[in-house]
Structure 1
Amino acid sequence: MSELRFEDVTIKYGIGRSAMTAVEDVNLTVPEGSVVGVVGESGSGKSTLARAAVGLVPLSAGRITVAGRPVPHRGPRPLQMVFQDPYSSLDPRMTLGESIAEIMPSGMSRRDRAAEVSRLMKLVHLDPERAGSYPARLSGGQRQRVAIARALAGRPRVLIADEITSSLDVLIQGAILNLIRELQAELGLSMLFISHNLAVVRYVAARVAVMRDGHLVEEGPTAEVLGDPRDEYTRELLAAIPRPVHFTP
């Protein structure tokens, strides 16, 4: 089982009267083997929610579970995260192979680690011969592929992707999104996909949740929410999507 659940999750920064509420009373489920997108403007709380799931932000109230069990703070974790910036998510002093192998479970032999690095690099469509290269020699899209392989090296039941295409150009964005769809179908991963781009979420997610000012304002099947939104804020987000301009000769 790999169902991810947020139950009455509240996250505050600071203490006392000066505390700022970033997320308040959020209830959200990522069903096993499915992709749920979370959209909203900057400051809506979507990335804070993702970081809380992997233990980077403490909860003020509520709980987060995978397969009905609270996410552990130590030891092997059932969730792994791919971050937004491919240029800062990899240690420049480590080779690609070292970065990927670092996340693997303990107890594996050196030969097994090398074989697993090769398998994961092939899985994200990178040449395993480049395992000895350093991140500085890669493009942004290639680095993001390494970051995805690195997350998969932890053998997660749930993958969290936080704005993973926003730092890439349009052509590379499409390639990474196709890779995400391919991996999700092949591995059966449960995935929380964070983005401010509704078109991207429409492409990868079966369900979508809309956040505003730390609150979940709408959630449901992607086609329904984006096709016939109930909340005014969702309609505003849809209206803000650029439309193609056609010129008459």
Structure 2
Amino acid sequence: MSELRFEGITVRFGTGRAAMTAVDDVSLTVPDGEVLGLVGESGSGKSTIARAAVGLIPVQEGRILLGGRPIDVRHGRRPLQMVFQDPYSSLDPRMTIGASVAEILPQGLSRASRRAEVERLLDLVHIDPARTGSYPSQLSGGQRQRVAIARALAGRPEVLIADEITSALDVSIQGAILNLVRELQTELGLSMLFISHNLAVVRYVASRVAVMRGGRIVEEGPTADVLADPQHDYTRELLAAIPGRIPSIEQGEHL
């Protein structure tokens, strides 16, 4: 794993007077082996940063570095892998889940090695390896999101980017996915950019948090420090919106 660093990133959509700045001179660091939570309301620029990191949209100013170097995507290698909000749309409904995960594995593996690795990854996210022949439509939303995570891990990323991965799920399932994220981070030492509009979710999984509003970072620091003593009014608003407890997490519910 490597440190992911955004240096003075600016992203604009449109041209001339119609141009809209979605991300304005943002600098962020995802430390090696840690989870950085990026939190903010819809339209704040969080997902734009994620998509810029994986090359889905261009950056007008600034640079994105992995391990101190520009991100290298030669030979089909993608050191950043992204898990999207909607697990159904991110999986090809015509492919079995085993084939979807196998598609991302590095080239050169034997058929037996690929099959064994797919089964290992599914087991890692608590999907029965015997279900490799199942299709996304045969799985629940939470199970599909687990497969999407396994698929991202198949690419052996240096940094995983999770963009609102629980917001499309039922509340009772969200806790199970968050528990999985924590488990994977502990077992694998994952470096992760975890994006959410919910500060309670970020509080549970991230060691550091950055608060984003209107395309800018308004506050950043260790999660415990930011939550104990927020310096920005917007952070205080997000903190005030957190319920007293999060039953689905605290009770450790699973699929």
Indicate the TM-score class for this superposition, using the shorter chain for normalisation. over 0.9
Residue 198 of structure 1 aligns with which residue?
A: 199
1:53-72 equivalence runs, <5 A? 53-72=53-72
Distance 2:118 2:228 in 1: 41
Report how far residue 243 of structure 1 moved. 5.1
Q: Residue in 2 aligned with 1:79?
A: 80
Q: Residues 117-132 of structure 1 correspond to what in structure 2 (within 5 A)?
A: 117-132=118-133
When the two chains are superposed, the root-mean-square deviation of aligned CA atoms in Å is: 1.1
- Return the offset for 1:65: 1.0
Verify: 1:151 aligned to 2:152, yes or no. Answer: yes
Query: Stretches of 4+ moved more than 6 A in 1?
Result: none
Aligned to 1:216: 217
CA distance in 2, matches of 1:69, 1:26: 18
1:47 matched to which residue of 2? 47
Distance in 2 of aligned mates of 1:122 and 1:242 = 33
Aligned to 1:247: none
Deviation string 1:199-240 (CA, Å, 9 cap, x unpaired) is 110000000000000000000000111111001111112223
Q: Indicate the residue corresponding to 1:9 in structure 2.
A: 9
For 1:58, the aligned partner's letter is: P
Does the 8 Å contact 2:12/2:22 carry over to 1?
yes
What is the correspondence of 1:95-244 to structure 2 with a 5 Å cutoff? 95-242=96-243
Mapped partners of 1:200, 1:240: distance in 2:
12
Identity within the alignment, %: 76
Cα drift, residue 17 of structure 1? 2.2
* Helix, strand or coil at the partner of 1:209: strand
- SS in structure 1 of the partner of residue 193 of structure 2: strand
CA contact 1:122–1:128 (8 Å) conserved in 2: yes
Q: Contact conserved, 1:13 with 1:19, CA < 8 A, in 2? A: yes
- Report if aligned partners of 2:162, 2:195 keep a CA contact under 8 Å in 1: yes
Looking at structure 1, the residues matched to 8 and 229 of structure 2 have their Cα atoms a distance apart, in angstroms, of 26
- The C-alpha deviation readout for 1:124-144, integer Å capped at 9, x for no partner, is 011111001100000000000
SS of 2:106's equivalent in the other structure is coil
Which sits farther off after the overlay, 57-66 or 147-156?
Answer: 57-66
The one-letter amino acid of 2:119's match is S
Q: Deviations over 1:58-77 (max 9, x none)?
A: 10111111111111344201
Gaps of 5+ in 1: 245-249
In the superposition, the TM-score normalised over structure 1's length comes to 0.95
SS in 1 for 2:186: helix
SS of the residue 1:24 aligns to = strand
- On the 8 A contact 2:73/2:79 being kept in 1, the answer is no
Q: What is the aligned residue count?
A: 244
Task: After superposition, give the CA deviation of every residue in 1:88-120 in whole Å (9 maximum; x if it has no partner).
Answer: 110000000110011111111211111100000
Q: Return the alpha-carbon distance in structure 1 between the equivalents of residues 200 and 238 of structure 2.
A: 11
Matches of 1:203 and 1:184, distance apart in 2: 12
Contact persistence 2:166–2:174 (CA under 8 A): yes
SS at match of 1:28: strand
Q: Bigger CA drift: 216-225 or 69-78?
A: 69-78
8 Å contact kept, 1:5–1:66: yes
1:28 aligned residue? 28
Q: Take 1:199 and 1:119, find their aligned partners in 2: how far apart are those partners?
A: 31
2:19 and 2:112 mapped to 1: Cα distance? 50
TM-score relative to the length of structure 2: 0.93
